[in-house]
Structures are given as C-alpha cells and as structure tokens.
A and B are shown apart, each in its own frame.
Chain A
Amino acid sequence: MTILTLIPFVGALVAALAPGPRAARTVGTGFLLAALGFAVFLALGYDRAAGGIQFTEHHEWIPALGVEYFVGADGLSLMLLLLTTLITPFALLAAGPSISRLSVVLILLLETTLIGTFTALNFIHWFVFYELSLVPAFLLIRSSGTKASTVAALRFFIYTLLGGLTMLVGFLAIQLATGTFDLVQLASMGPSLDGILATHFHWPFAGMLVFAGVFFGLAVKVPVVPFHTWLPDAYAEAPSPVTMLLTGLMSKMGLYGFLRLLLPLFPQRMQELATPLLWLALATILFSAFTALAQTDLKRMLAYSSVNHLGYCLLGLFAVAAVPLGAPTARAAAMNGVLLQIFNHGLTASALFCFAGFLENRSGGLRGLRDFGGLRTAAPVFAGLMGIALFSSLGLPGLNGFVGEFLIFSGTFHLVPWAAALAAIGLFVTAVFLLDAIQSLFTGPLPPQWEKFPDLTRGEVALVTPAVLLMFVLGIYPQVLIALFNKP
C-alpha cells in the first residue's frame, strides 16, 4: 500500500526534476502506468474468500494525538484504487503534449493524495490526504489562468475546506469521546457511538451535531444539492483533463467518505434520517437533471449530468441505510449498484470530459451545444466514440452505465419504492438532455465553419479506445468488478 502511494509521489519528484515538459510527461506517464500495474497486481492478489481489509500496515505516527499510520484496502478501496490509477494516466494523456511540467507534477501529486485517501484507515491519516488533494486540484483548476477559472478554483477550495473543517471538528468530538481515530475500531463500535457521544458531552444532540458536521463535509465534496454551487463553475472552467480528474476521482472521495465514515459509524443516525437524506438525493438527481437540461454549454451540461449520476449513488446508499435489516437481495443489489456506479461514472464522466476537451481544442474554446451541428459527417470517429460514451452515461443496456443504475434502481425499488419512482423521473430527464446533446452536436446541417473540423488523430483514438472498450466490457461482464466486493 505504501509502495502504491509512493509510486506517483516519486514520479512527481522525478518529473519536477525532468529537463523539460516533454520529458516530464513521459516520466509521469511511466510512473502512472506503473501505479496502474501495481494496483491491478494488488487487486489480483486480494483474497476474495477472506474479504475484509487486507494489505494492512500499521505504524505509530503521532501517539500523543492517537494518530497512526494505518493503511489497508478492502474491495471498495481496491476498486477506487483501480479507478484512480486508470483515470489519472487517461487524464494526463488527454491533456496532450502541450501540458506544462508543473501540471504533470501536480497530477502525480493528486494521484498520491487520492491513493492515500482511499487506503487510509485512521481518520487523521485519511484527512491529511483528503485535504492535501485540494492543493494540486486548486492549482490545476486555475492553471489556465482565466479570471473565471481563478474564481472557480478559489470557490472550490474554500467550500471544500470549510466542509473539511466541520468534518474535522466532528471527528475531534468523536476522538474526545472514544479516544481513537482508528476507523476500523470506530466502525466496530458504530451502533453505540451515538450513545457514547451523548454521554461524553452530556448532551443528547451531540451525536446529531457530529453527524451533521461530517455529513456536511462529505456532501460538499460529492456534492449533494444544495451544497453543489461550487461545482459547475469549477468543472466548466477547469481545463478538461483536470475536470476529468475532478469528476472521475475527486467526487469519489466524497462518496468513499460516505461509505467508509458515515455508514459504518452512524448506521442508526442514517436510518433515522433516511427520509430527509433520500429527499436530498432526489433533489440532487432531479435538480441537476433539470438544470442540465437548460444548459447550452457542453461542459456545464456534463457537469450537472455528473452531479445527477452521483445522485443515483447517493440514492442507493441512503436506501440501503434506510432499511438496515431484511431484504438482503435488494440491499446487496443496491449496494453493488452503488459501487459499480462509482466506477462507471468515474470512467464515463472522465471519458466525456475528455471528448469535450477534444472538441474545445478543435473549436478554439467554443463549447456551446448550439455552436455545433452535423459533426457526424465532418468527424465520424469522434462522433461515434463520443456517442458511445454519451449512451453509456445515459444508461443504455450493454454499456457499463446501465448495470450500475439498473442495480441501484432495482434495489431501491424494493427498499424505498417512492424514492425510486421519483428518481426515475430523473432518469427520464437524463435521457432527454443527453439525447439532445447528441442531436445538436452530431446531427443536423453542418455549419460552414466546421466543414474542416478535423477528426480524432490516431493518438487520440488510441487513448480513448481502451476507455470505450472498458465500457463495453463492464456493460457486458460487470462481474469483473462485482467480484471484488462480494465473497464468492
């Protein structure tokens, strides 16, 4: 685990010392692929029969504060590690050869912090990486240097940090009450944690407040409507490869937090609050879907679409939390759906932003939906591949998006039928705006200024094809992933 974290970090150091941006990019890609290889190796080495957390390393770090260096991985972590190590090189390469050395270094550092986040099992240890990821992300978002991106980056940073702070305070309270930051230990006392907090602070609402703090921190990160306001700007203004990382990976930090922190530590609280939480998830789904419908900017539309898809994850998650007992099949289905959706969304959304980046490069920065049309004829390969990705996002059977959403909905429908029914509206709207995008981009008359629209280069095709292939693979044979978090 430590090795995996160190690979991109060392890569960042090497890239920082590389003679030029080109060399840095080569070095960076090399290290990222090495990390990917190592992650795959770990995933293969995971003992599915035993399950649970494996590959643990446990060292004293700051004994005075109860902070330990404690890493390990279960299926969830491994899946996210795979996703991370997959998407990061994807994004780096998507940025094209003109990427600056600083950006390469930052991307490598970002991967370091992501891996750190997904493997840490001590809260502070986790938090360190969680917060540190903000710095490279901040600098990457604003790397284009436009006024709008600067503001967006600042907003992103402050919002997320504020969330981090409330979470930190929440865990501080937990530590004061229980004396530990160890997530595994805390998870084992999960059901009684609420009581412990209430006794320690002589206040019945202490647990509630702590829960709220942690929830807020994570909700900002995911984001959950209405804490999402930083997102569209950041996604739209950041360079597309960076948006790939943001949506593909950083939003997963929030979801991972829900799965790793909130669900195990506050099962009762989650159940009690399931209805409002489900409403929040529904709000996320519906609000973002309708807003996406109204967008004319491709990247903004994709940004809201991204929020929308994350909403499904939340829906499934809260549904599972709402019904802690019984209906094992439905619960397993929903949970598996959530996990699959996490991976699939990471893959699909980053692919979509990758295509948006290609489009932007070719159009000189234009990315309005109404600015294009008929690209199918000018750039058939581009249109075809992007179409597949859009359909995957839409949830077309046979592509990866479908499996996750299907499992979520089938599970949720058993557990909380009303929520599933309402969410289905979102599904419908999603289809509408995605199809609208396909239509306005690829069909219709080709405006004269795009007659010379260049198609994808060979390198770009080579870059995107594996991603598209993976969509098919996961759409047809999702067991590859599901096996990771289900005992055989």
Chain B
Amino acid sequence: MNPLLVALAPQIVLVLTALAVLGLGVSIPRARNAITSAALLGPILSVVALHLFPVHGLFLGGMISLTPLAGIFQLVILGLAVVAMVFAADSFPKTHFAESLALVLFATVGMLLLCATDNLLMIFLALELTSIPLYVLAAFDKASRASAEAGLKYFLVGSVAAAFLLYGISLIFGVTGSTNLHAIASFAGPSDPLLLVGIVLAFGGFAFKVAAVPFHLWAPDVYEGAPTAAAAFIASGSKVAAVFILAKFLFGALGPWAGSMTAAGWAPVLALAAAASMLLGNITALVQSNVKRLLAYSAIAHGGYLLLGLASGEPASLPAVLFYVIIYAITTAGAFGVVLVVEHERGGSRLEDFDGLAKSSPGLALCLLVFLISLAGIPPLAGFFGKFYLFATALENPHLLWLVALAIVLNAISLYYYLIVLKHALVLPSHEDRKAGLHGTRALVAALALLVLALGLFPNFFLTPLTQSFHPAVADEAPVPNQTHP
C-alpha cells in the first residue's frame, strides 16, 4: 500500500465518514440515532487506523510528519471529537442535523493534519480547514441571534488572525528561505529584525486560536452565543491542536530566537501576552453572570498559563504545556457538557439557572464540582497536577519567577468565580422543576469527571507515555533521514 495513504489513513477515514453522514442526512434525515452512530464510527475507525498503522516519519518532504507525540495528540483530538459529537447529537436541532456532525468531522480532519505537519504552509491550510467548519458550527443555531453574532465575530476575527499568520509566514519564509520548520531551525543567517516581526505576526495567528490577549475578543461572545456543543469543541479540540502546533512552531523551529527577559525574542512577547491574558481573563471572569461567558474568560486565563509555560523557553516545559492543554481540554469539555444539560433543563446558562442542581441531579453537580475545581487547580484533580507541573518546569527559567508568582496569585483568585458557580449549583436552593434527558451527555460527563480525577491521582499513567514520546519529538531538531518517504 502507498505509505502516504497509510500515513493519512485516519484523516481519510474521517473524510469518508463525513461524506457518508452527509449522504445519510439527505436520505434518512429523521433517523438521528443512525446518523449519530455513523458519525461516531468515524473517529472510532480513525483511532483504529492510528493503532493499526503506527507510521512514524516524514512524508512529502515534511508536509506530513508523523511522530509518536503527534499520534498521542491525534488520539486526544479524536476523543474530543467524540465528546463534541455526543454533545451535538443530544442538543442540535433536527434540521441539518447530519450536516452539523459532518462539520465536526471536517474540523477534526483539520486538527489531525495540524498535529501532523512540519511545514508552515501546511500549518496554515490545516488551521483554515479547522476554522471554517467551526465558523459554521458557531453560527449553527439559526434561531438564535447570539449564535449568528458568534459565528460572524468568530469568522471576522479568525480571518484577521489568518491574515496575520500568513503575513508572518511569508516574512519568515522571506528571511529564512524555507517554510519547513526544521529548515528554519537550522537557518544560520544573521538575526534579522524582520524575522522577529514575522514570528510575532505568526504568533498572533496562533494566539487567536489559543484565545490569548490581545486576540481574545471573540472568545466570550462565541462561547456564549454558539451552540454549546460547538463551543465545547472550539474550547477543547481546537485549543489542543493550536497549542500543540504553537509549541512545535516555537520550540521546533524558532528556538534560537527565543530571547529572554533581557534580550529581544519571542519569549518576552509570550510572557507579556501570558501576563495580560491571565490578568484580563481572571479579573473579568470575577464579574460574569453567565457560565459560558465565565468559561470563556477562564479559557483566556488558561491560555495565559499555557503561554507562560511556552515563554519559559525551557525544554522541560514543553511536556508540561502539552500535558496541561490536554487536561484543560478534557476538563473544559466536561464543564460544557454540564452546561449543556443545564441549558436543556432550564433553557439558559445564567448563574441562576444552576440553582438547586445538587438537588435535582446530584451526580451532575458532583461532576461540575470536579471540573471547576480542577480548573481552579485544586488537588487531587488533574488540573492541579497540570498547573503544578507547568509552573514547576517554567521556574527552571529563573527569570520567570515574577510571572509564575503572578499566575499562582491569580489562580488563587480564580477560585472565587468557580466557587460562585458552584455555590449556585450546590448551595442555593431552587423551586423550579427540571427536565430529565440527555443521557448520553450525562454519561459522558461522568466519564470525563472520572478521567479528571484519575489523571489527578495517577498522572503518571499519562505522563510517562507523553514524556517518552519526546525522544523523537518536536523539540528534537534532527529527523532521522532514512525514514523519509518520497
């Protein structure tokens, strides 16, 4: 078999499933269960394909680059896609149901590709492939003005960011003469300020995806306005892919231009962006009255923590950042799951809509507790270890003490707004009745909560494969030549 075909098997499976789902949507539009099952088959088969053909190496001159680490991330993204589709299946409107699932699948293809490339052009393409279905998904609730606004805003800001990225890429190419990350890394020319401008512009493109200040403006409106299932995927899958590629971009290609607190480079830029994101996210979240909006500001803050890890420029930080983004994605997806159920029961996601959750659905309330406390970084949940690991490694760069101190203090403050949500859910009473239903989402949320707890108690189960996969990792500049395929 053509090795390239084998290497791209997961993506191909997904595309085929998406097409099949679209077909089913036309032929049997009312059979939601059948369509959902078919759609879920896509990621599952894709996982199987990943396992059956564990191909590692470079294809098409680095356009496609498969490493064990990329494999792990593809796995995670497929898992998050499943989560998003279960959410979507439980909540999306009857009309155009199949299309919504197909869009999730298409976006997933983009994310998988994003994880599996060493080339800036391919990165751009994959990023667009991810973004466009997500724009549509954000605007998918046609009955809601907020959703339309969310879609438009996401699209507009996304386009600007894409322009930034493309301009940055072109500048980098202009200075270094290549779009291949490895080639850029081995560029030995004089330090050109133009290169730095390019890096910063490209960073802006990624920062949009990470929802870091100053490219965060879309996040609150999109998280609030988009259908919750879509928001969950935007907040989880898209973020994982974006952070992975940003890390690869910075550490794999631009290591020599990291700079420091005293020397120009991308590290101080990241540090500033991290500080701004953490400050803005955490402080603004304090006054939110809508949980989805609050999660958006929390996402901005978490984007800041992730950038902090990257800004340290320490190789040890890299697994910590990647570990943390995965934990964050799982946790935030679970939180959106709870929001989804509450919206279904109460028709809204304001704080008051959470009142009395502990009485009507104690299990769900417990899950919400797990997710939010994990986001707040309280042990024994995964979020705690993630942050601990992130901060511990970031401090190997002694100049970053101030930023870590800021992060830890702001993290303590963040507990306040999470507790406000939990107060409504667990403490305050409510007299309204609640609707049952959404069993798939409920079950999945419980599973995610257990996962968050398990990863907190025994992070090593996941940490060991992650760190081991680093041996031929993104941080490793030299690819093994004889594994290169034409």
Q: Do chains A and B touch in the complex (CB under 8 A)?
A: no
**B interface with A by C-beta (< 8 Å):** none
- Residues of A bordering B, CB below 8 Å: none
